[in-house]
């Protein structure tokens, strides 16, 4: 006898995962801290933006470096993302002073930190934990003073930014955060967007000039910077009208390690190859089917698909609203009209389901039209 | 909202919200983050969550919104780094039912794991709807409010999901039950 799917799903999905008491404790502590910080931020907001440069303190040291403006401190930003370990590293660091304004955005480099296992969250790259990492915290505000969109707003991400360390002598188009196991987290507080960006540790290249680029775009923006192949130096493209900040990173040259640098370059090549393989698997046959599903709506169905007349049938709902559909293979399936269809849409085609096996010619779209007499006209469409 | 009020909300909705976060993210770390951020964001957006007004839908809608946004933020990271995969298990279930033999309990546990894995394989837009409908027991209208899509779309996604699950769980659906 057939069992009831709804019953099976309800039983299997009954909420059973309890949050750990430590997690709840951490949450309550964060709520307390946030309450405290909100008070501080209100005061900070009264300080005019022009006071920014005066409020910064210069300082360079090893380990970590951060800025002393009334933005969130880098340790607070790290803790925003639940990384207390990294926050402690920033907290014990020194201060940095660098703000650049390009393309309508004021970019402040708040701090950098690097080292082995200094974060609570270490990524695994190609099966290996990459523990030796470089972190930077950047604040981005609009030059005209309008707030940056909140991460939960639909506007967020419409202006993407790319943040990456770059190394003198290595073409930035090839050697940047994307190819060096990079990633970032973002949050917006009081109209300021904070980014915690990370990638594998670049300190081993400290015997040459090291930079941090912050430009518009999702990936490295070739038009924003110039790479001098003769000297290996990287500079801002002055004629670029978008955002193209470029900071020199104050990293102790004594941290350079040629052997480690060579090993890192090998890794970068491996990561690049690995990523290409991933990209290959992401393209291919599924692309066209996904595109098809994306463009499919009741309004476009007649232009991009055609009905299979042999599947057309008129169904009469039972007392509970269920209809039975006969398949070409003789099998029967059913659906509940009240649950699946918008019953106010009389005479209009509605998509009730669809399936594909990864190729366009395997796509099937189940449609239904509710007639004025209460019956349902069902037909399967396939791509034209 | 005071800490006492937050504690009360955690006690009332914590388990349901956390289960939802675990099933949505597939990762303990991301679930922990999403769970905390949901409460913090909810506090930020609405200074007072009135537990008498049943804010479950509100918390779930904050979680869905944060998750959608977070996926965007972490998309780049995902392409490069392998995520720690959360091996879904049916936690918190121990054999305590006097009327059920240990064998029956074990079979039920395995069945639940298979069902959860099938749900996990659904496309995300269908999975969210299934979790809200079967796990959180929200109505179609409530889900439409949480996910901010028309009710008709909720129904259609639910139908598509049920159809896929029906296919995937055929063995379980036609299995002979105990007794």
| DSSP string over B103-168 | HHHHHHHHHHHHHHHHHHTS-HHHHHHHIIIIIS---HHHHHHHHTS-HHHHHHHHHHHHHHHHHH
What is d(CA A312, CA A325) in angstroms, rounded to the nearest whole number? Answer: 10
**Cβ–Cβ below 8 Å for A19 and B35:** yes
Query: Which chain B residue shows the shortest CA-CA distance from A183?
Result: B77
Same domain? For B76 and B7 the reply is: yes
- Yes or no: say if B20 and A15 are a contact pair by the CB < 8 Å rule: yes
Q: Where are the beta strands (DSSP E) in A234-296?
A: 234-236, 244-248
In angstroms, the separation between the Cα of residue B54 and the nearest Cα of chain A is 17
Q: Measured between alpha carbons, how far is A236 from A231 in angstroms, rounded to an integer? A: 15
Q: Round to whole Å and give the CA distance between A158 and A145.
A: 18
> Which helix (H) or strand (E) covers residue A5, if one does?
helix A5-12
* B178 CA: distance to closest CA in chain A (Å): 12
CB contact under 8 A, A157 and B72: yes
* Number of C-beta neighbours around residue B57 at 10 A: 17
Q: Are A105 and A248 contained in the same domain?
A: yes
Task: Give the number of residues written for chain B.
Answer: 179
**Is there a contact between A358 and A293 (Cβ–Cβ < 8 Å)?**
no
Q: A170 and A239: one domain?
A: yes
Nearest residue on chain A to B61, alpha-carbon basis? A152
Residues of A in contact with B18 (CB under 8 A): 15, 17-19
CB contact under 8 A, A82 and B169: no
Residue A4 belongs to a domain:
no
For residue A316, being part of any structural domain is answered with yes
Q: Are B74 and B120 part of one and the same domain? A: no
Judge whether B142 is closer than 8 Å to chain A, CB to CB: no
Stretch (H or E) spanning B36:
helix B28-45
Domain span at residue A83 reads: 21-282
B84 touches chain A (CB under 8 A): yes
Interchain contact A241–B (C-beta under 8 A): no
Which CATH number does the domain housing residue B161 bear? 1.10.10.10
For residue A239, CA distances in Å to A46, A211, A236, A273 come to 35, 19, 9, 34
Residue A175 DSSP one-character state: S
- CB burial class (10 A; 0-12, 13-18, 19+) of residue B36? buried
Does the residue A196 lie in any domain? yes
Q: Comparing C-alpha atoms, which of B73, B150, B30, B169 is closest to residue A163? A: B73
B71 and B122 both lie in a single domain: no
Is position A6 within any domain? no
Would residue A52 count as lying in a domain?
yes
Residue to test with chain A: of B134, B166, B168, most A Cβ within 10 A: B134
One domain for residues A251 and A325: no
- Boundary residue ending a domain (A254, A282, A310): A282
Same domain assignment for residues B18 and B76: yes
Angle at A107 between CA A101 and CA A108, to 5 degrees: 125
Please give the C-alpha separations between residue B83 and each of A30, A128, B77, in angstroms, as whole numbers: 25, 12, 9
Question: Is A339 in the B-facing interface, judged by CB distances under 8 Å?
Answer: yes
Judged by CB atoms closer than 8 Å, whether chains meet at B69 and A152 is answered as yes
Cβ of residue A350 closer than 8 Å to a chain B Cβ: yes
Q: Touching check for B94 and chain A: CB below 8 Å?
A: no
Cβ B73–A186 below 8 Å, yes or no? yes
The whole domain housing B22 covers 3-80
Asked whether residue B95 is domain-assigned, the answer is no
Chain B residue closest to A30 (CA)?
A: B40
Q: Which residue, A230, A247, A282, sits at the end of a domain?
A: A282
In a domain, B142, yes or no: yes
Q: Is residue B176 part of a domain?
A: no
Mark whether B72 and B10 lie in a shared domain: yes
Interface of A with B in 19-38 (CB under 8 A): 19, 23-24, 26-28, 30-32, 34
Nearest-Å Rg of the Cα atoms of chain B is: 18
Residues A370 and A257 both lie in one domain: no
List of residues 6+ apart from A302 with CB closer than 8 A = none
A243 with A336, same domain: the answer is no
Tokens found for residue A353: 């389901």
Angstrom distance (rounded) from CA A64 to CA B104: 57
Strand-pair category, A161-167 with A210-216: antiparallel
Compare CB distances from A9 to B22, B40, B115 and report the shortest one's residue.
Answer: B115
Residue B91 lies in a domain: no
Q: Which of A98, A96, A76 is nearest to A87 (CA)?
A: A76
- The total of structural domains in chain B comes to 2
Q: Is residue A153 part of a domain?
A: yes
Report yes or no on A14 lying in a domain.
no
State whether B65 and B133 are in the same domain: no
Report yes or no: A378 and A368 within 8 Å, Cβ to Cβ: yes
- A99 beta partners: A108
In A114-234, which ranges are continuous DSSP H helix? none
Instruction: Note whether residue B89 is domain-resident.
Output: no
Cβ–Cβ < 8 Å for A182, A198 = yes
CB A98 within 8 A of CB A109: yes
CA distances from A356 to A14, A189, A361, A363, B152 (A): 30, 43, 8, 4, 22
The string over B120-139, giving b where at least 16 C-beta atoms fall within 10 Å of a residue's C-beta and e elsewhere, is eebeeebbbbbbbbbbbebe
Does a structural domain hold residue A12? no
* CATH code of the domain covering residue B17: 1.10.1740
Q: Flag whether residue B2 sits within 8 Å of chain A, measured between CB atoms.
A: no
- CA–CA separation, A72 and A75 (whole Å): 8
Chain B partners within 8 Å of A32 (Cβ): 3
A55 and A42 within one domain: yes
Q: How far is A231 from chain B (nearest CA, A)?
A: 30
**Which among A196, A10, A32 is positioned nearest to A112, based on CA atoms?**
A196
CA distance A92 to A381: 64
Closest-CA residue to A256 (of A60, A58, A59, A62): A62
Tally of domains in chain A: 2
Residues B7 and B75 placed together within one structural domain of the fold: yes
Q: Which of A265, A282, A299 is the last residue of a domain?
A: A282
Cβ contact, residue pair B135, A15, below 8 Å: yes
Give A63 to chain B, closest Cα distance, Å. Answer: 24
Q: Tell me if chain B has a CB within 8 Å of the CB of A5.
A: yes
* Gap between the Cα atoms of A344 and A228, Å rounded: 66
pLDDT per residue as tens, chain B (179 positions) = 666 777 888 888 899 999 999 888 877 888 888 999 888 888 776 544 444 455 788 888 888 888 877 665 544 444 333 333 333 333 334 444 555 666 766 777 788 888 988 998 888 889 999 999 999 988 888 888 888 888 888 888 898 899 889 888 887 777 654 43
Instruction: Give the residue ranges of chain A where pLDDT is below 70.
Output: 1-2, 33-70, 94-95, 97, 124-128, 154, 270-287, 320, 328-333, 339, 356-358
Quickly count: other Cβ atoms within 10 Å of residue A306's Cβ. 12
Q: Are residues B63 and B122 in the same domain?
A: no
Return the residue of B nearest to A337 by Cα: B155
Residue B92 inside a domain? The answer is no
Residues B16 and B76 in one domain: yes
The reply to whether A178 touches chain B by the CB within 8 Å rule is yes
Query: Parallel, antiparallel, or unpaired for β A192-200 and A210-216?
Result: unpaired
CB contact under 8 A, A9 and B119: yes
CB A141 within 8 Å of CB A106: yes
Alpha carbon of residue B155 to chain centroid: 18
Chain-centroid distance of CA A353 in Å reads: 30
Asked if the C-beta of B3 comes within 8 angstroms of chain A's C-beta atoms, the answer is yes
The span from the CA of B74 to the CA of B64, in Å, is 15
Whether residues B72 and B13 fall in one domain: yes
Q: Let me know whether B15 and B68 are in one domain.
A: yes
């Amino acid at each position: 006898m057939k069992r009831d799917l709804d019953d099976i799903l309800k039983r299997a999905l009954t909420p059973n995962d309890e949050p750990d008491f430590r997690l709840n404790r951490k949450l309550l502590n964060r709520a307390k801290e946030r309450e405290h910080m909100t008070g501080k931020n209100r005061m900070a907001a009264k300080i005019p933006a022009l006071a920014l440069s005066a409020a910064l303190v210069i300082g360079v040291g090893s380990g970590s470096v951060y800025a002393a403006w009334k933005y969130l401190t880098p340790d607070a930003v790290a803790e925003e993302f639940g990384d207390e370990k990294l926050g402690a590293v920033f907290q014990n660091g020194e201060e940095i002073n660098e703000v650049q304004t390009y393309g309508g955005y004021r970019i402040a480099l708040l701090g950098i930190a690097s080292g082995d296992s200094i974060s609570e969250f270490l990524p695994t790259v190609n099966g290996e934990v990459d523990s030796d990492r470089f972190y930077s915290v950047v604040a981005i505000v609009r030059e005209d003073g309008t707030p940056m969109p909140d991460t939960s707003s639909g506007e967020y991400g419409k202006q993407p930014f790319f943040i990456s360390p770059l190394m003198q002598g290595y073409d930035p188009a090839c050697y940047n955060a994307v190819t060096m196991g990079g990633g970032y987290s973002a949050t917006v507080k009081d109209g300021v967007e904070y980014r915690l960006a990370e990638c594998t540790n670049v300190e081993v290249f400290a015997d040459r000039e090291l930079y941090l680029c912050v430009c518009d775009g999702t990936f490295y923006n070739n038009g924003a910077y110039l790479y001098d192949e003769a000297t290996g130096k990287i500079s801002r493209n002055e004629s670029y009208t978008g955002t193209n900040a470029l900071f020199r990173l104050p990293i102790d040259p004594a941290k350079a390690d040629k052997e480690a640098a060579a090993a890192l370059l090998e890794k970068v090549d491996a990561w690049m190859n690995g990523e290409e393989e991933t990209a290959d698997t992401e393209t291919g046959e599924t692309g066209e089917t996904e595109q098809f599903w994306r463009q499919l709506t009741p309004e476009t169905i007649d232009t991009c698909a055609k009905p299979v007349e042999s599947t057309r049938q008129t169904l009469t709902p039972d007392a509970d609203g269920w209809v039975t559909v006969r398949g070409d293979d003789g099998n029967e399936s059913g659906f509940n009209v009240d649950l699946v269809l918008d019953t106010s849409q009389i005479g209009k085609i509605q998509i009730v389901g669809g399936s594909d096996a990864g190729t366009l010619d395997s796509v099937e779209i189940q449609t239904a039209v509710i007639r004025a007499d209460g019956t349902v006209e069902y037909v399967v469409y396939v791509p034209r | 909202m005071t800490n006492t009020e937050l504690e009360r909300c955690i006690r009332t909705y914590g388990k349901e919200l956390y289960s939802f976060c675990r099933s949505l993210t597939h990762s303990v770390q991301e679930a922990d983050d999403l769970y905390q951020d949901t409460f913090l964001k909810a506090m930020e957006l609405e200074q007072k969550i009135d537990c008498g007004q049943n804010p479950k839908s509100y918390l779930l809608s904050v979680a869905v919104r944060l998750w959608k946004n977070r996926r965007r933020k972490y998309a780049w990271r995902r392409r490069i780094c392998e995520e720690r995969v959360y091996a879904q298990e049916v936690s918190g279930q121990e054999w305590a039912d006097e009327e059920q033999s240990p064998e029956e309990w074990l079979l039920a546990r395995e069945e639940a794991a298979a069902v959860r894995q099938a749900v996990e394989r659904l496309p995300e837009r269908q999975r969210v709807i299934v979790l809200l409908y079967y796990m959180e027991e929200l109505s179609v209208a409530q889900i439409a409010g949480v996910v901010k899509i028309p009710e008709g779309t909720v129904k259609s996604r639910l139908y598509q999901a049920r159809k896929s699950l029906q296919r995937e769980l055929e063995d379980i659906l036609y299995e002979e039950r105990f007794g």
